[in-house]
Amino acid sequence: MKTKRHLWGFIYGCLLSCFTIYVLLDTFVIARKYVKVEEENSDISSDRNDINEQSSLMENTIITDTSYSDGNISITISEYREHNTNIYVAEIILSSPEYLQTAFAQNTYGKNVTEKTSEIAEENNAIFAVNGDYYGARETGLVVRNGIIYRDSASSDRENLVIYADGSLEIIAEDNASPEELIANGALHILSFGPGLVTNGEIAVSQKEEVGQSMASNPRTAIGIIDDLHYVFVVSDGRTDESEGLSLYELAVFMDNLGVQLAYNLDGGGSSTMWFNGEIVNVPVSSKGINKERSVSDIVYIGY
């Protein structure tokens, strides 16, 4: 009888261990591809690939190690040193909002579907890119891309960044409006991470505010808008001897000093990556070491 009890205990322990391992794998490893993003309308694609237009762009394109300009898109990369941290700023001016875009890893919405920021950028012929909100790391949070609702489970304690079709930005409480209402008002993309750093030209976070269990100083990624179609993307290094990292408040003050009217915190830590013209600008960190890109679920990018 005692032997049977031990046997059943052993079997139960094995089953529990197997179930725990499966849950962990399902949560963090097993990829589930839910929706493959359809290619753009062929008429739009052919318009964008018009030979004469492309030739004209190439003739007017000026590229350096830290800048890009072609008449429609202007990008200037600058580096700052504050709070014992290297901070990279991309100032971007567009002639049309269509050049501010987003993309999923593997062109697919799903769970644990990831690629490096650089890989997603190259696959989408981006000129410039940063990591997005890493929607795949959470079970909740609105996911809207190109006016399509992929996930509509809202959280009451999260702020969203709404990118409208006219290129304007807005920060809202995630449960304040339905994605259908936002799309009806012109929302094109909705990113769910946060918090908002600057709203109406005023710093919107306290000195003690942080994201979840984040440390005070981290690599960071943020997007801000100065004026119509005039943006700044900021990525800071962190967690290294060379760069300590920024707190949310330090990031907000930095963005405010750049003159933004609105700024929003995207996924940070090991995800923080700035990519420009085929090269990684910052020094990403991961659990496996320095200068190792983390694979993420999405990016925000500039391109055609």
Across the chain, what does the average pLDDT equal? 87
What separation in angstroms does the CA of 183 have from each of 6, 158, 173, 180, 204?
Answer: 59, 19, 15, 5, 25
DSSP-based three-state secondary structure for 97: helix
Check residue 211 and give its pLDDT.
78
In a domain, 201, yes or no: yes
Sequential pLDDT tens for the chain (304 residues): 556 555 565 555 545 444 444 333 444 456 666 777 865 443 444 454 555 566 666 778 999 999 999 999 999 999 999 999 999 999 999 999 999 999 999 999 999 999 999 999 999 999 999 999 999 999 999 999 999 999 999 988 899 999 999 999 999 999 999 999 999 999 999 999 999 999 999 999 998 888 765 668 899 999 999 999 999 999 999 999 999 999 999 999 999 999 999 999 999 999 999 999 999 999 999 766 677 899 999 999 999 9
Of residues 116, 134, 136, 135, the one with CA closest to residue 126? 116
In a domain, 234, yes or no: yes
Does the pTM surpass 0.95? The reply is: no
In a domain, 26, yes or no: no
Burial 187-219 (b: 16+ CB within 10 A, else e): bbbbbbbbbbbbbeeebbbeeeeebeeeeebbb
DSSP-based three-state secondary structure for 145: strand
In a domain, 22, yes or no: no
Check residue 155 and give its pLDDT.
86
Give the count of domains, the chain. 1
Check residue 44 and give its pLDDT.
43
Secondary-structure percent of the chain, ordered helix, strand, coil, rounded to 5: 25, 40, 35
Pair 245, 85: CB distance under 8 Å? yes
Check residue 21 and give its pLDDT.
41
Check residue 32 and give its pLDDT.
63
Of residues 172, 133, 171, 146, the one with CA closest to residue 255? 171
Q: Which two tokens stand for residue 4?
A: 């049977």
Q: Which two tokens stand for residue 260?
A: 């933004």
CA angle in degrees (0–180, nearest 5) for 53-56-58: 110
Rounded to a whole number of angstroms, the distance between the first and last alpha carbons of the chain is: 73
In a domain, 283, yes or no: yes
Check residue 156 and give its pLDDT.
84
In a domain, 15, yes or no: no
For 168-204, how does the pLDDT look when each residue is reduced to its tens digit (9 = 90+)? 999 999 999 999 999 999 999 999 999 999 999 999 9
Domain span at residue 56 reads: 31-303
Check residue 289 and give its pLDDT.
62
The amino acid at residue 65 is D
In a domain, 2, yes or no: no
d(CA 182, CA 149): 11
Residue with tokens 């901070």: 87
In a domain, 24, yes or no: no
